[in-house]
Homo-oligomer: A and B are copies of this chain.
């Protein structure tokens, strides 16, 4: 097939906003504000330095930087050269970093000072060159790292971005998916640019005057696309928070007069908690949740506390990420993840079939399938895994769900999280929704542990609100009242905190390992 002459680049997102909104503030970090003009100039200066190091079209560059202005600087610098950004989760240990560097074939890693501990070890293990950002002047002599800032001062800034073929890879994002070692999902310029277009045109309501709290980690697709790229494409302002905690986030939102909050459910817990200690409120127009199921009770509590609706969306790293959304501007339907994005189709498939896709009738429960402009190119160097993930043109999510007559999708659970007890399917999500309704419960995770006679037994780990005294047995009694008896948790462990992955999702496999 002819692939024509069209070109695209994710770098155009920043480059064009630098032309169209040069004096608007693109990024706020603490007291520091960076305009679009400056951010793009700085990115072009970094690009000049990277180019001098030999980075060019098609070269993967790993980026290990927290949510500060250097993240977009380096991100767009690499993309402007036609390179490929390989963001590294900020919590990875050196061997995990080594794995990502080797697997992606990264030519270089750009590592921020606070993350040099693991980053430099990982780079050494993988024998990949490292260049630092953000090392303060008074530390640089003591450290064996060169600074990209210094190199940028020597180099000639590039003039503009390299046009790319729409299917050239722009990012490689590592995801564990359902099983196995992390796989690198290749996102192309087309999928990333089109995702942002569709978010702005037909999904969100994001305008140049908006101020978005950017607390979602930028190394993850949700923060990178919805918070950073969409904000920049709109010419709005992202207020970055390098490390999330509820009180800080609320304080920053008030001080910076944020109008939009985007987060994962665990962040909402922190925010609600902070709101009980702080009566001031930011001028929020709405909030967005994704990445994991948010209990309906939490949406209600948030509306009460902040006077704003939460619009929940759904997607995966492999789908750029948003696939469905409670579109801003329509009344949200809490408990659902909304309707398919413009140009995206959702199917419900028979989860038993592996080799082919059999679509089920509307209303039936099955595996959520996704098709559209947002699909990844595949998993880097893993044709077999790619073939398993994308069948008959549909991406198989590994999530179970139902679609109603109006096209609203409800995620019942992940296939692999489903509990099979005495031959009955129990969906943890449903039990978590009930627990969330208890006034003392801040967060919970329900999972299966193995059991001699029942096959699996239902267990919950529960985090209480500060000061609450409820016992596990109280909560068991509470759930028994609200849910069929084959579904309520037989064991409830009160915990200080739930184990969270780097993008803020509860790591159920750790709970299973601990209690199973």
Contacts and interface: CB of A to CB of B under 8 A. Distances in A.
B16 A165 contact: no
A390 B390 CA distance: 35
Given A166-B190, A202-B20, A375 B5 contact: yes
Contacts of A197: 194, 197-198, 201
A7 B371 contact: yes
A3 B6 contact: no
A2 B185 CA distance: 13
A4 B167 contact: yes
A377 B2 CA distance: 7
Given A376-B4, A393-B163, A395-B5, A16 B343 contact: yes
A201 B194 CA distance: 12
A168 interface: yes
A161 to B, nearest CB: 9
Nearest to A189: B373
Interface string A1-18: 111111111001000100
A345 interface: yes
A407 B19 contact: yes
A2 B373 contact: no
Contact of A6 (B2, B201, B345, B372): B372
Given A1-B165, A168-B1, A374 B6 contact: yes
A3 B375 contact: no
A50 interface: no
A275 interface: no
Nearest to A12: B343
A188 B4 contact: yes
The residue in A12, A20, A190, A393 that gathers the most chain B C-beta atoms within 10 A of its C-beta is A190
Interface string A177-209: 000000000101011011001101110000000
22 contacts: A1-B167, A1-B168, A2-B377, A4-B191, A4-B378, A5-B377, A5-B378, A5-B390, A5-B395, A6-B374, A6-B375, A8-B194, A8-B343, A8-B372, A19-B407, A20-B202, A163-B393, A193-B194, A194-B194, A194-B197, A197-B198, A201-B233
Interface of A: 1-9, 12, 16, 19-20, 160, 163, 165-168, 186, 188, 190-191, 193-194, 197-198, 200-202, 233, 342-343, 345, 371-378, 390, 393, 395, 407
Given A4-B188, A193-B194, 12 more contacts: A1-B168, A2-B167, A4-B377, A5-B376, A5-B393, A5-B395, A7-B371, A8-B343, A9-B343, A163-B372, A166-B373, A194-B194
